[in-house]
Amino acid sequence: MEAGIEWEIGKIAEEYEGQDDLPDVEEYRLAALHDARSTVQGLPVPIRKSMQAPFRELADDYMVTWRTKHGLKATNTEQQMLATFDLFAGFFGKKPIRDVRDPDAAHFVDALRQLHPNWARKPKAREMPWRELMKAYGGQPKGLADATVNRHMATLKTFWKWAKRRGHCDGENPFEGHHRTLKEGINAQGYVAWTEDELTKLFSPPPKRADLTELMLVALYSGMRLDEIASLTVADIQRKPVPFIRVTDAKTRAGNRDVPIHPALWWLVDKATGEGGNRLWPSFRDEGPGGKPGGDAGKEFSRHKAGKGYRDRVKAFHSFRKNFVGQLERRRVPEQEVAQIVGHEKAGFTFGTYGGEAELRRKAKVVSLIAYPNLPIPDEYRIKEPCKPT
């Protein structure tokens, strides 16, 4: 076997005698022959970095395997991962992942912590070479949020593990150890409920768009998420055994649930007419990876709240959900019951996706505890007589 390998090497040497460079194909073939000879002789095979895929190219291979995971929902996770790989590839260049060292990861994190938080909102910025990007948006005293940096580094850390298992790199993971613990109220920036005065201001007057007003009311009296509400169809509104909303396309198993319709939302039942697949609020455009209307609705709400003077990110559409949950907590409703209604995952509790009639009636009593006595609800949404199950 070794003689055959030597013969093939000799053929290449004769054919290209006197030439400084070999064609790429022959260069790869010659390298493979040398590696084969080393293997036969029991010698270590050298790592040929020039023949290894660049970081970004290998990241594409990783994404192919990532997409084969079962149960993936259409979210913005894939876009975020690709953005991470693009950003690091801009910093690191076309070298293979094997060349990433601890100082590389540390310098990258330092750059992220000084990168303008809104840099990605500029389409041109995403196409900039790394040096231009840093010149235009780097060096900020307050850069990307810790949560954003954590997400970037978690993606890179997982990618390294995948690459190492497949022989593309070795040694300690250079992306380890860069996670920052988020402190409540400082880094975490969790959403907070609207105060009574703030709710009054949001509805005085209400949004110019009636569909946005309706989404806000549904959120206040159901605790549902924006995407869940904006995506509702006629078929999702049920009348028996009590009026309820069936959520069927949530990101988690706990998110798929039946939510009783609060008496203040009985107008919603009358609104649900026509073909079952028709959207209740079709004017909101489908956006994002999953083709959901929540993104468009969220932009409309952001404009409305900004017009009322509210620009703090902790006060958002999700804050209506905080109002709902907060009321139930103050009423001392057991947390497992709250979790069932709002679709939270709770450790130690296992629920069926959709409960029976008795459970639905019990949840309806819980939902009816929600009250906003001073909320200036528009007259057209004040129900004079409750609807009846059919």
Over residues 179-189, the mean pLDDT reads 60
Give dist(CA 220, CA 229) in Å, integer.
11
Is residue 367 within 8 A of residue 262, CB to CB? The reply is: yes
Q: What is the pLDDT of residue 350?
A: 43
Predicted local confidence at residue 126, as pLDDT: 87
pLDDT at 374 over 50: yes
Contacts 24+ apart (CB under 8 A), 181-187: 182/146, 182/147, 182/150, 187/145, 187/146, 187/147
Mean pLDDT for the chain?
85
- Per-residue pLDDT of 142-173, as tens digits, reads 899 888 999 999 999 999 999 999 989 989 99
Percent with pLDDT over 90 in the chain: 57
How is the chain split into domains, by residue range?
A: 1-41, 55-165, 196-381
Q: What pLDDT, on a 0 to 100 scale, did the predictor assign at position 288? A: 59
* Distances, alpha carbon 207 to alpha carbons 225, 230, 264, 271, 301, in Å: 19, 16, 18, 19, 8
Q: How confident is the model at residue 355 (pLDDT cuts 50, 70, 90)?
A: low
Residue 50 has pLDDT above 70, yes or no: no
Give per-residue pLDDT as tens, 237-287. 999 889 999 998 766 666 789 999 999 999 999 999 889 889 999 999 887
CA distance 253 to 345: 8
Which residues fall within 8 angstroms of residue 15, CB to CB, at 6 or more apart?
A: none
pLDDT in tens, 325-336: 999 999 999 998
* CATH of segment(s) 196-381: 1.10.443.10
pLDDT tens digit sequence for 58-85: 999 999 999 887 566 656 688 899 999 9
Cα 206 → chain centroid? 30
With CA atoms as reference, report the closest residue to 205 among 379, 324, 323.
Answer: 379
**What is the pTM for the complete model shown?**
0.61
d(CA 210, CA 282): 12
Please check the confidence at residue 384 and state whether its pLDDT lies above 60.
Answer: no
The Cα–Cα gap between 148 and 142 comes to 13
- Which pLDDT score, from 0 to 100, does residue 22 have? 65
With a cut of 70, say whether residue 30 has pLDDT above it: no
**What pLDDT sits at residue 140?**
93
Confidence category of residue 387, pLDDT binned at 50, 70, 90: low
